[in-house]
Structure formats: C-alpha cells, structure tokens
A and B are shown apart, each in its own frame.
Chain A
Amino acid sequence: MEVKEAGYVGEIYRISGPLVVAEGLKARMYDLCKVGEEGLMGEVVGLVGEKVLIQVYEDTQGIKPGDRVENTGMPLSVELGPGLIRNIYDGVQRPLPVLKDVSGDFIGRGIEAPGLDRKAKWEFKPIVKKGDKVKPGEIIGTVQETDVVEHKILVPPNVREGVIAEIYEGSFTVEDTIAVLDDGTELKLYHKWPVRIPRPYVEKLPPVVPLITGQRILDTFFPVAKGGTAAIPGPFGSGKTVTQHQLAKWSDAHIVVYIGCGERGNEMTEVLEEFPELEDPRTGKPLMERTVLVANTSNMPVAAREASVYTGITIAEYFRDMGYDVAIQADSTSRWAEAMREISGRLEEMPGEEGYPAYLASRLAEFYERAGRVKTLAGNVGSVTIVGAVSPPGGDFSEPVTQNTLRIVKVFWALDAKLAARRHFPAINWLQSYSLYVDTLKDWFAENVSEEWNELRRWAMEVLQEEANLQEIVQLVGSDALPESQRLLLEVARIIREVYLVQYAYHPVDTYCSVEKQYDMLKAIKQINDWFFKALEAGKTVDEIAGVEGLEEFARTKLEEDYKPALEAALEKIRKNLLGE
C-alpha cells in the first residue's frame, strides 16, 4: 500500500447515519475520503475546528470510532472517456454491472470500481498531427464508441495550451497514452473532472432551436429549447416518470443522460430492458446507443443520491463539449433536495423552510445554470437541456422545492392528478403550464415547419382557454343554457383535448409524433372547426354536427404510421356529411 503523506490519515470520532466525523485529518472542502477499514467512499462537507465532517456514500453500519479515515486529496470526480454510453452507474459513477460481478445481486460495500472499463480497447483516429498547436478543450481525434456516437477525444480543459509532440493511431485502452504535448503532458482517451465544478466553455448562446420531443402537447404548446430548462412537478401517479421516459426516448438530442435520483429500482430496470429494444426514429439504431444512465434508487445510500445529480450533469457537459446536443432527465430533483435536507439535518445546520437547508435555492439555481447552448472551447456549438421532475409532497406546488425550481426554469409542465385519474395522458394541465421559449422559438417553427404553425398554435390555445371559461358556466347551469355557437366550441375543444392532447405513450405509433404530423393534425382540426361553424350557419344542430360520421376515423388517424391517406379520407368524409357535395 502506498504511503500517504502525514496528516492525510485520521481517525473517526463520531458516526451518525451517513455522517462521519473525523479527527486529525488534513482536509479541504469536498475532498474525497476513504472511511473505515473497508474504505467506504465519502466526501468532506464541513470543517469545524479540528473536526472534519464527511458524508459517506455507503451504509455506515459497523463502522467504529477510532477507525481509520484516509483523505485522497482529490475532489469527487468522474472519468470522462469512451465507455460512458450504454453504461449504468450509481451516484458516484461506479458501473452497476461491475458491482454485480463483484458483489452479486445486492450492492455490497467498499467496492472500488472505476467508471470506465480499463481493459476495453478503442480504435483511436487522430485528427491533429505532430507539430499542431492545441488548446484546452480542443478535439484531437475520435473513437467510434457506438453505431451512432462518435466520441471526440478532447484535450482536457485543465491542461495548458501546447504543441503535439507525439500522437498515435490505433487501438488503445483508456489508460494508454495517445498523445504527448511538448511540455511532456501525456494525453489519454479519458480524463477526470470534479463533478461540482462546471466545465468551461467560451460563451453561452441564445436558445433558438427547440428540443423536439415528439410529444404533441410539449412541442406544440409548451416547447423547450435546446440548452433550456424545464420542470415537471406533479403528485404521485400523475405521470412524471412516464413523461421523463418519453423525453429520454424521443427527444432529438444526440446524447441522453438519464438520472434516476432516489426513485424506484424497477423504473431503471424498465429503461435497461426497454431502451436496447427501441429504435431511435432518427438513426434507426437502438436508443441505448446514445444513452447514459445514472441510477441511485431510493434505497441506495442517501449521500450518493446527493452526488448523482452532479455526476450526471458533468457527463452531460462533457458530451456538450464535443459539440453535441445533450438532454438530461433528472428524476427526481425533489429526492435530491431531500438528500441535501437529510445531510444538512445531520450537520445540525439551521434549517430554512420545511427543514430544507437555507442554501436549497442557490444549489438548485447552480444546477440548472449548468444547462445552456454554448460555444465550446473547441469552437463547436453544443447544448445541455435539463428537464427536472419535481415530486411535491401532497401535490402541493407551494412547497419550497417546486417554488425555488419555478423561479429558475423557463418551462413548467404542470402535471394534474385529476387528468391522470380520468386517464388523460400525458396528464399535463394546459391551463397551468407555460413555456417562456414560445417567442424565441417562433421563427424556428415558422421556418422549419410552416408559416401557419404559430397561428394554429395560438388558435388552439385560445379554444382551450375559452372552453375553461365556458366550463365554469356549464358547471352552474348545464350546457343547455349556452348558445349554439358556444356549445359547438366546446365540441371543438373536446376534439383538441381527446384527439390532439391525449397521446398514448404505450402505442407503438402514437408514442412519437413528428412535428410534421403535429402540424397536419392541428391543421385538420382547424379545418374541421371551420366546417363545423359553416354547418351551424347552414342550419344544422350542434348534436348533428358533433355526431357527424368521420370524426371517429379522424380520431384514429393518429394511431396510423402512414397517416396521410387516412387523414385525407376522414376529412373528406366529415366534409361531405356536414356540407354535402
């Protein structure tokens, strides 16, 4: 065993759950420590006089005062290089398949497992040559990591500018030297980066490109921009996780980082079993080929849950630095906040609202600020989009985590238990939700989808708003009291809700709806609306109009892969039945 510098080894003084207090240890904040004889991983979270407070990422049962603590002198870091994609990690980047090999079906303690496979060989192709000057963050070559991901090898951002003295092509493990700079710095396929420090970039760019999700209510009404931030708060059972899974599946990002933070084990299993089977509609390859999973389920140690969010975002930033669009699904940020609360309680810090630490707001803000569309050090454009699920206790949005999140994020997808109870999915409430990107993304939609897009969107939203107003009257006096035109509007709103907004996540076709199809459907509904009112003018009753033949067929067109002929036919039928030849 290597001899450590004096002072880097200390003794345990106290153990209270995940919090361990050590004495006689030289330490800085956020240094990584090995606690006890088993060498459990921990991180320094406080210094009080001679005492060092350490949060431990593993179960502390059986640890005694007097046991040894060793400071590695390094901050908690992740390994960034080929081998990240398709992997599933715990909160501190230990690969779960490796843990399974070592300790079986249940997670043991004190297992060291590097984030990247040391034995795997990768085919490295340099794109710079001997004598080239390279800057930090610059791309020096590529590794084809999966069928769809070309992993770009970067000069680590914390290495000084230099000239390539040597560079090799061929098959390497992550620890082999692939290039040497003139000052003798050896470059490898991977480098380490401390998770709590955002990776540098040149500048942030305005978010003007939408992240297309294939979910009608999101893309049409509440779009999120690439590099933007969104929150999905909702009570249990309202579909947070299903929505997060849908985004992880169908977002048009190059890379998806899914952080299962303090949630159910089976949900991660579902992703693991399902993603390799599902095909990315853009590349035709399995979705797993672009996915990194970070899973710290609710029963895994709480301190590692606190770290998992940082592990995930750092991996995301790394791929951003290659010039990729990365989407993060963090499910759920409330569990992360609760982990902070738990550690804070153990540290006996003065609590803020509902026992959460006073720094809750600033931690949330720091995290969401790591999103963005940026010009990378290498000169490319990359983005990190963060979608965070929030699990408000009792579904009450006035609680601290929801409120502090809403102050930061630009998109709010409000999940509604009432919609969920009637199986209207996705149960996103269209009256409460908002997106502040609607205006900045207008031009993109007008250019890339249709000039009419923004107008159609506005019209549909107006109908839904009007419906909500009319519903209040209906609740009081019944729908018979409304004038015909308003009753007809309610029917149109019903079509928008039941046909357009309802989207079946588990239907093989409807699970993903391209923007083009969204446009066609919305246009068709507007068309039907116009015919409805024309028919009303021509003397038909509301009941006749609402019961017109062809609507049923129209409703089913969204389930068709090749929907256009069916849509045309349904429209034609409706037109004929309403207005005659």
Chain B
Amino acid sequence: MKMKEYKTITQVAGPLVFVEKTEPVAYGELVTITLPDGSTRRGQVLDTSRDVVVVQVFEGTRGIDTSSTVRFTGDIVKLNCAQDMLGRILSGSGEPIDGGPKIVPEERRPIVGAAINPYARQYPREFIQTGISAIDGMNTLVRGQKLPIFSGSGLPHNDIALQVARQAKVLGEEEEFAVIFAAMGITYEEAYQFMKEFERTGALERAVVFLNLANDPAIERLLTPRMALTAAEFLAYEYDLHILVILTDMTNYCEALREISAAREEVPGRRGYPGYMYTDLATIYERAGRIRGRKGTITQMPILTMPGDDITHPIPDLTGYITEGQIVLSRELHAKGIYPPINVLPSLSRLMKEGIGEGYTREDHPQWNDQMYAAYAEGVDLRGLVAIVGEEALSERDRLFLKFADEFERRFVQQGRYEDRDIEYTLDLGWELLAMLPERELTKVERKFIERYHPKYRKGEAKAEEAAEEAS
C-alpha cells in the first residue's frame, strides 16, 4: 500500500497535532509521527477534511516539531490477537513489555468493536459465586454482566477485585476461564500488587495484562480498555473462554477523554467532561455480555474511584446509567475496620433477579434478599434517630433492628480476604441474623421459607432460644 507522508504540521496543541495536506485521509486512520531524533509516536485521526487533519497522539506530543514527519498508514488501530496472549504483559497500547517474544498474530482485530446486535444477545442468567457474602447474597454477579466497583481513593477496591478474580466460579462447572486485566493510570505499586498476586496464585498463565501506569502517556489510556476488550472478545468468541475483564481505574480514562476534548475546544458538558462521554463509555461497557450460540462470555468488573466520594460525579453517574448495577464501597465501613467495606444500600445488581432463586442459588434467595435489605435499611435509619434522641427512647422492636444492622456489618459483610464463602453459607448466615428479629417482622418472606430456613425451625427450639438470648 502506498504510504502518505507529510511534513506539514502547522500546529501542536496539547495532545493534538494539526496537519495540512493534499491527499484524502480517512477518519480514524492510524498515524505514525517520526520525530527529528528518529523516535516515533502513534496517533489517530480525529477530524479530517480537505484542508486540515487533526491527529490525537497517544504517546504524548513532547518533542514534536514542525519538521516531524507524519505518515498516514491507511489502516485503523488494531490489536494483534492470538491465544498466546495468555500469560503475557502488554503495554497500554498492546505491545509486549514483559521481555518475551513478539505476539504472532492469528488475527488483527480493530480495537473499536462493532456493537453486538441486541437481537443476538442472550440474557445473562448464570450465577457466579465470588465467595463474598455482600456480593453473592445481596448483589449477585452473573456471567456476562458488567458490574463496576464504585470506590474512593484509599479504599481496598483492588483487594476486592483480586479476591473476585481468585474465587469466582460457576457452580457445578469446570469451564475454561481467563482474566483480562487493564490498568489505566494506576501507580506502579498498585500494578505490582496485582502482578505479584497473579504470579503467586498462578493466575498469570490464565491472564492477559495491559499496563498503562500513572507515568505512561495519558492519551494512551483511551486505547487500553479497547485493547483489553478486543483481546477479551477474541478469546471469548474464538476460543470459547469465559472472560472476566477488570478495568482499573476508569476515572483516569475519563480524565484523558476530558483532556482531548478540552484540547479540541469542544463545548463541555458537566464539569468539563465532553457531552459524548456517555456514548464513549457505552462503547466500552456494552462490550460485555453473552451471545446466543457462542460458548464464551465476557463479564466486566470496571473499577472507578469517585472523586470526593461523590456518587453524583459525572464519571460514576454515567457509568451507573450504563452498567448493570454497581458495588459501592464505603469509607465509613472501611474506617470501622470492615473488609470488604461494601455498602449494600446504594449497591445493586440489575441482573441478579434472573440468576438467583430455585435452580440457580436457592429458592429462598429472592425474598431473603428483600428481607435483608429492608431490615438493614431500617436499622441504618434508626442510627440517625439514636444520634438525636438516644437509644433509651427507642422501642424494643427498634433496638432489635439497630442490633441487626450492627451484626449485619460485623458478621455478614465482614469477611477475610482469603475467605471463600459458598452461597449456602451466606444465605444461612443471613437467616441467623434475621432470627434476631421478631418473626412477625419478617413480612417479605413467605411462610414456607421461614419454616424451611429460619434457624428456629431448622435446628430445633433449643437453637432458637439461644439466638433469642443472644439478641436480648
């Protein structure tokens, strides 16, 4: 193919390079810029016309001058895909950085994936057991779901993601799975923690790692999640693997998006983020799912840190509108020493209703879930009241709910980093807590489930008396 080369850079503005030229250049075309010192940078066409082409440079514009050579490759950004990617560590733009050999591509895939036809999708239903009670019991993850972790700086979101990656399994199945881990702008230390953990558990062999660290070029972050998802799609749909994609930290991705938008002098939406951020995020998150007739699946667990712990900030807000729920971490629980500090009240899994209950987890799970939520919410509300009027002013009933909320956090949410609880254990633990409440308060659960699972009926009266004593 004929390469078009130009030395007509007229303007460099932040991450953007403006090139005047004669030949037509395609929208989205991959660009190589050669600096006077011989080093090269890669970029992509953002805007093209007969007069001027705007290129966003992934590796930063430092050192680019008007004598640099711009070469339009006639190609779009693609990733070399192969089964051998498993076990490899790649840069944020898909080049191997683990000292290993080049990846011999079986296929070069454009990193901008086409949209899955909604008609071709299959609704996700398979329960994934993560071994974490606050997720499995309260906000169940299913295969093919996109369930982000909304965190804050300094909270142990990485530990939770690692624990999920380590423990996640579909009950009764021994199917091949792999983890794709994409780091965007995280520190070396954080990345090191992930890598060490992957190596220690041998998970690295079943993983592809894309690393864009805090000191790597910010604009490269726009490629990283797309690279990761392209690899995920290749392995899921060509090799029938079940893929868990961890994207961390999406906040850094959005910052890069804002940087480009500001450099292009676009009309900003909320807080300076571009108006198309929703659409842009959707093209990442919507690449999760299951497709009818295909074995492999893609489950996404993006992690983002909410600036100022503010869930209404555009990044968590737009994410929450696209993803199928969210796991929200709480600084308050973290301060109480509770791990994982999952605040179940604002957390949600939209797909759980289809993945729980009879035939999936256990028949009582849906109603149990309603009951646990209602009871915990009531207990948390009462804490506000106690702060004003004191615990003495509460009725006996209210005090039980207060105690329930405390125990819920201390016994149900709290668990070890290496504690892998199965779903039966989680549900039974919940029933033990519910047994603290008067039976007539359990209005969300049908009688038959109470009789079947309430400790009072299960383990004989003696056990129930114990629980009652403990409660009082």
Interface residue A160 (Cβ < 8 Å from any Cβ of B) = no
Interface residue B312 (Cβ < 8 Å from any Cβ of A) = yes
Q: Is the CB of B394 within 8 A of A96?
A: no
Report the nearest B residue to A20, measured CB to CB: B27
Q: Is the CB of B321 within 8 A of A422?
A: no
Q: A555: which B residues are within 8 A, CB to CB?
A: 443
- Picked from A16, A64, A106, the residue with its CB within 8 Å of the CB of B24 is A64
Q: Is the CB of A64 within 8 A of B27?
A: yes
Among the stretches B94-102, B211-219, B371-379, B456-464, the one at the interface with A is: B371-379
Shortest distance from the beta carbon of B449 to any chain A beta carbon, whole Å: 13
Report the nearest A residue to B443, measured CB to CB: A555
B113-143 CB mask vs A (1 if < 8 Å, else 0) is: 1111111111110000000000000000000
Kindly state the separation between the CA atoms of A297 and B348 in the bound complex, as whole angstroms: 21
Report the nearest B residue to A299, measured CB to CB: B286
Q: Is the CB of B50 within 8 A of A66?
A: yes
Interface residue A265 (Cβ < 8 Å from any Cβ of B) = yes
Kindly state the separation between the CA atoms of A395 and B394 in the bound complex, as whole angstroms: 33
Known A237-B326, A391-B321; contact A475-B388, beta-carbon cutoff 8 A: yes
Q: Is the CB of B114 within 8 A of A269?
A: no
Shortest distance from the beta carbon of A207 to any chain B beta carbon, whole Å: 31
Interface residue B155 (Cβ < 8 Å from any Cβ of A) = no
Q: A498: which B residues are within 8 A, CB to CB?
A: 443
Q: B384: which A residues are within 8 A, CB to CB?
A: 475
Interface residue A230 (Cβ < 8 Å from any Cβ of B) = no
Q: B276: which A residues are within 8 A, CB to CB?
A: 17, 302, 338, 342, 345
Interface residue A539 (Cβ < 8 Å from any Cβ of B) = no
Interface residue B19 (Cβ < 8 Å from any Cβ of A) = no
Known A266-B289, A345-B267, A475-B385; contact A13-B123, beta-carbon cutoff 8 A: no
Shortest distance from the beta carbon of B48 to any chain A beta carbon, whole Å: 5
Kindly state the separation between the CA atoms of A556 and B440 in the bound complex, as whole angstroms: 13
Known A298-B278, A302-B279; contact A422-B374, beta-carbon cutoff 8 A: yes
Kindly state the separation between the CA atoms of A391 and B377 in the bound complex, as whole angstroms: 25
Shortest distance from the beta carbon of A480 to any chain B beta carbon, whole Å: 6
Q: B60: which A residues are within 8 A, CB to CB?
A: none
Shortest distance from the beta carbon of A525 to any chain B beta carbon, whole Å: 15
Q: How many A-B residue pairs have CB under 8 A?
A: 212
Kindly state the separation between the CA atoms of A69 and B389 in the bound complex, as whole angstroms: 73
Q: A96: which B residues are within 8 A, CB to CB?
A: 117-119
Q: A536: which B residues are within 8 A, CB to CB?
A: none
- Picked from A60, A265, A393, A478, the residue with its CB within 8 Å of the CB of B317 is A393
Q: Is the CB of B312 within 8 A of A355?
A: no
Shortest distance from the beta carbon of A311 to any chain B beta carbon, whole Å: 15
Kindly state the separation between the CA atoms of A273 and B48 in the bound complex, as whole angstroms: 42
Interface residues on B, range: 35 or more
Among the stretches A97-105, A370-378, A456-464, the one at the interface with B is: A97-105
In this complex, the member of A60, A270, A351, A421 whose beta carbon has the largest number of chain B beta carbons within 10 angstroms is: A421
Interface residue B266 (Cβ < 8 Å from any Cβ of A) = yes
Q: Is the CB of A266 within 8 A of B374?
A: no
Q: A88: which B residues are within 8 A, CB to CB?
A: 118-119
Report the nearest B residue to A108, measured CB to CB: B114
B302-326 CB mask vs A (1 if < 8 Å, else 0) is: 0000000001111001101110111
Kindly state the separation between the CA atoms of A273 and B125 in the bound complex, as whole angstroms: 12
Shortest distance from the beta carbon of A270 to any chain B beta carbon, whole Å: 5
Q: A61: which B residues are within 8 A, CB to CB?
A: 26-28, 76, 110, 112
- Picked from A106, A341, A474, the residue with its CB within 8 Å of the CB of B113 is A106
Q: Is the CB of B345 within 8 A of A65?
A: no
- Picked from B48, B119, B123, B374, the residue with its CB within 8 Å of the CB of A15 is B48
Kindly state the separation between the CA atoms of A317 and B464 in the bound complex, as whole angstroms: 62
Q: Is the CB of A269 within 8 A of B121?
A: yes
Interface residue B108 (Cβ < 8 Å from any Cβ of A) = no
Q: Is the CB of B366 within 8 A of A21?
A: no
Q: A236: which B residues are within 8 A, CB to CB?
A: 317, 320-321
- Picked from B120, B123, B322, the residue with its CB within 8 Å of the CB of A100 is B120
Residues of A bordering B, CB below 8 Å: 13-17, 21, 59-67, 88, 96-97, 99-100, 103-108, 235-237, 260, 262, 264-266, 268-270, 272-273, 295, 297-300, 302, 335, 338-339, 341-342, 345, 351, 354-355, 391, 393-396, 417, 420-423, 474-480, 498, 506, 547, 552, 555-556
10 A-B pairs closest in CB distance: A394-B312, A14-B49, A298-B282, A422-B377, A61-B28, A106-B114, A299-B286, A96-B119, A236-B320, A15-B27
Given A16-B46, A335-B278, 14 other A-B residues pairs in contact with their CB atoms under 8 A: A17-B27, A62-B76, A64-B26, A65-B48, A88-B118, A236-B317, A262-B279, A264-B286, A265-B121, A269-B121, A273-B123, A355-B267, A478-B389, A480-B395
A-B contact pairs, 20 of them (CB 8 A): A13-B50, A15-B27, A16-B47, A59-B112, A64-B26, A66-B50, A88-B118, A100-B120, A103-B117, A105-B116, A107-B116, A265-B286, A273-B123, A298-B278, A298-B322, A355-B269, A391-B321, A417-B346, A477-B393, A480-B395
